[in-house]
Amino acid sequence: MEQINSTDNLLVNGKVSDQPIALLVDELFKVDWNPFLEHRRYITMEGHMEIYNANEEDPEQIWKRLYFRTKDGRFQWFASHCADEHPISDVLLTGTEIKANREDWTLLIKGGKENADLLVRVPSNVFDKWHQTLLSHSSSSLVDAYIQPVWPAVPHRTNRIILLEIGGHSLRAGILTQKPALPYTFIPLLCALQSENDHLQFVASGKEAILAGKQENYNLVQPIRISEEETYLDRAAMIFLLQRVVQDMAVQAREMDISFRPQNFSVLMSIPEYMDIEAASDILKMLLDKSFGFRNVGIVRQPSLVLYSYDVTTDAVNLILPYGAKQIRDKLLTKLDLKGWLNALDSSSTNSSATVEDLLLRFLVEKCCFVAANGYDSERQKGSKEMVAELPGTPLSLKVDGEIRFSAPEGIFKPSLWGKESAGLHQLVHEAIQRCPIDSRRPLYRAIYLTGGCSLLRGLTERLELEISKLVPPSIPVQVLNSPWRRHSAFLGAHQISAASDEFPRKCCVGESELDDYLRRMSTPTTME
């Protein structure tokens, strides 16, 4: 790693300007209405096969030998290999189901956007290659295959609901809209606590808290710390953060030209799978307390919401990926010299240095890292180019070595590279499916859905498909799906369930007197009442 630009021009009156850290937070927490698209690499192939023609009366002519080619998600066939670029016909493979029959060496192509219904007979020596080729095209994702947010956001015609999402490091919130929308508020889960003359007072939240934390007599406080072992809730900090949410919702309501009074709104709060229900209960009680005074509240675990954002609710493997995020950042930290950037962003403040370092590493992972398509050794032999990471709006930039870009995330599949003795992600998925009833396993391999921060790593979808395919027979197709809106999957899922019925606030939310019984009825972590 090489620091390219100095930070001298970031000094204001001899002190480092707040601008770079503000821009960094804005970059990480911006609500981007452009879908996160990846151009998946198709397997291209061409050669002779036979196509079935059910309308042919002559039995000897039912199978016709033609020349086939895959190109840009389409399956084309020609009279011969000498034909020009104009096929006899073709079909879109995206979203189709490919059924392989080894008894007669046929591949059946059905469904998809063009309602395909095609049967081809393949030479046995290239059967598996053609099968994998067609699967690579059929599993390619179209943007409109998933729930899509719509701009501008229009309030729901009847349901007045605040969607509130508590994450491990962030908070999302927004007023329920008629059609799916991205969150209005998306901020770091932080508050700034000022200490002056033995008096403690919360003064800022979100991005503003990080900026305040750079100053003396200010400390950063996490309102809630969630881990698989325990959940710690700072009640005073959480109340202050919820006040910020209420202020933001009032602003959004004005922009939508609707009135905002908490007593007229319900709150649907979504929480991580491993968040303690007692901490969640405390937050719901805060929202119902007279200081906020919301009409009623509901709660749901985020894993169940993610599938709604993919427009599916059954026969699916929902894979939420905080998996490996910290390890990838730790790997970068050992390989990169970040002193110049940290000085520019933080001015060596002890109050917020750890937070700023973590934000910077998250930024570098998102901008620079990718998953090696065919594994670490293959990518290393090929040689990946170094990359210059730049923080928009600042002169800050640094070169990131080509190898660290893909070696840092490789532990997702080989945890030993992170010093961990555990199974790789592909093995965990495979083992989870194998624990399911035998008659449901095949469809589950075609319905693996990604979400979470690490799911944004470029190349992860293809690599996961490849590694799982190695663990199952060739006749079982593997399909991993990744919505271009997966950064906000749970929030979009919350919209889907709360907008589905005008009766949702009455049937699925409760007031203070019913809250204890409501929480007791949540018999499993993913149950929603």
pLDDT tens for 169-223 read 999 999 999 999 999 999 999 999 998 877 889 999 999 999 887 777 889 999 9
Identify whether 31 is part of a domain: no
How far is C-alpha 422 from the chain's CA centre? 23
Identify whether 437 is part of a domain: yes
Q: Say which CATH number the domain at 409 has.
A: 3.90.640.10
Residue 11: what pLDDT?
Answer: 36
What is d(CA 212, CA 352) in angstroms, rounded to the nearest whole number?
9
The 10 Å Cβ neighbour count of residue 340 is: 17
Are 189 and 258 found together in one domain?
Answer: yes
Are 10 and 128 found together in one domain?
Answer: no
Are 100 and 219 found together in one domain?
Answer: no
Determine contact, residues 162/294, Cβ cutoff 8 Å: yes
Bridging pattern class, strands 317-320 and 387-390: unpaired
pLDDT digits (tens, 9 = 90+) for 455-511: 888 888 889 988 999 999 877 888 888 888 888 999 999 999 999 899 999 999 999
What is d(CA 525, CA 95) in angstroms, rounded to the nearest whole number?
32
Q: In what order do the strands lie in the sheet with 89-92?
A: 89-92, 74-78, 63-71, 46-52, 116-121, 106-111, 96-101
Are 265 and 376 found together in one domain?
Answer: no
Determine contact, residues 241/192, Cβ cutoff 8 Å: no
Are 195 and 247 found together in one domain?
Answer: yes
Assess whether pLDDT exceeds 60 at residue 138. Answer: yes
Task: Assign 321 a pLDDT band (cuts: 50, 70, 90).
Answer: low
Residue 16: what pLDDT?
Answer: 39
Residue 319: what pLDDT?
Answer: 55
pLDDT digits (tens, 9 = 90+) for 13-70: 434 345 788 899 999 999 988 876 665 556 789 999 999 988 877 777 899 999 999 9
Residue 191: what pLDDT?
Answer: 96
What is d(CA 210, CA 227) in angstroms, rounded to the nearest whole number?
22
Are 470 and 331 found together in one domain?
Answer: yes
Assess whether pLDDT exceeds 60 at residue 266. Answer: yes
| Domain end among 91, 106, 140 | 140
Identify whether 155 is part of a domain: no
Assess whether pLDDT exceeds 90 at residue 8. Answer: no
Q: Is the pTM of this model over 0.85?
A: no
| Domain end among 72, 106, 140 | 140
Identify whether 32 is part of a domain: no
pLDDT digits (tens, 9 = 90+) for 433-454: 999 999 889 888 888 888 876 8
Average pLDDT over residues 406-421: 88
DSSP, res 223: S
Task: Assign 318 a pLDDT band (cuts: 50, 70, 90).
Answer: low
How far lies 301's CA from each of 293, 458, 529, in Å? 23, 27, 11
- Arithmetic mean of pLDDT over the chain: 84
**Tokens 């490849």 sit at which residue?**
466
| Domain end among 140, 170, 199 | 140
Identify whether 186 is part of a domain: yes
How far lies 450's CA from each of 48, 125, 145, 316, 370, in Å? 36, 34, 14, 11, 16
Task: Assign 140 a pLDDT band (cuts: 50, 70, 90).
Answer: low
| Total H helices, total E strands in the chain | 17, 25
Asked whether the CA dihedral 309, 314, 315, 319 is positive or negative, the reply is positive
Identify whether 489 is part of a domain: no
Q: Which of 13-22, 374-383, 421-430 is predicted most confidently?
A: 421-430
Identify whether 348 is part of a domain: yes
Average pLDDT over residues 126-131: 90
Assess whether pLDDT exceeds 80 at residue 162. Answer: yes
Which strand (E) or helix (H) includes residue 497?
A: helix 489-499
For residue 144, which amino acid is it?
D
Residue 525: what pLDDT?
Answer: 47
- How open is the CA angle 131-137-140, to the nearest 5 degrees? 135
Are 171 and 268 found together in one domain?
Answer: yes
What is d(CA 182, CA 489) in angstroms, rounded to the nearest whole number?
9
Which strand (E) or helix (H) includes residue 342?
A: helix 339-346
Query: Can you tell me whether residue 422 is helix, strand or coil?
Result: coil
Residue 4: what pLDDT?
Answer: 38
364 class by beta-carbon count within 10 Å (0-12 exposed, 13-18 middle, 19+ buried) = buried
Residue 142: what pLDDT?
Answer: 53
Are 86 and 223 found together in one domain?
Answer: no
pLDDT digits (tens, 9 = 90+) for 73-99: 789 999 888 766 688 999 988 878 898
Residue 147: what pLDDT?
Answer: 80
What is d(CA 86, CA 124) in angstroms, rounded to the nearest whole number?
28
Are 165 and 300 found together in one domain?
Answer: yes
Are 221 and 287 found together in one domain?
Answer: yes
Determine contact, residues 414/444, Cβ cutoff 8 Å: no
Residue 13: what pLDDT?
Answer: 41
Residue 41: what pLDDT?
Answer: 59
Higher per-residue confidence, 151 vs 15: 151
Identify whether 156 is part of a domain: no
Range of the domain at 371: 2-24+317-482
How far lies 180's CA from each of 79, 149, 376, 455, 485, in Å? 47, 5, 39, 21, 11
293 class by beta-carbon count within 10 Å (0-12 exposed, 13-18 middle, 19+ buried) = middle
Q: Say which CATH number the domain at 241 has.
A: 3.30.420.40
Residue 454: what pLDDT?
Answer: 81
Q: Say which CATH number the domain at 87 has.
A: 2.30.29.30
Determine contact, residues 232/211, Cβ cutoff 8 Å: no
Residue 527: what pLDDT?
Answer: 41
Are 234 and 254 found together in one domain?
Answer: yes
Assess whether pLDDT exceeds 80 at residue 287. Answer: yes
Average pLDDT over residues 312-324: 59
The number of domains in the chain is: 3
Residue 326: what pLDDT?
Answer: 73
Are 296 and 272 found together in one domain?
Answer: yes
DSSP, res 190: -
What is d(CA 26, CA 392) in angstroms, rounded to the nearest whole number?
10
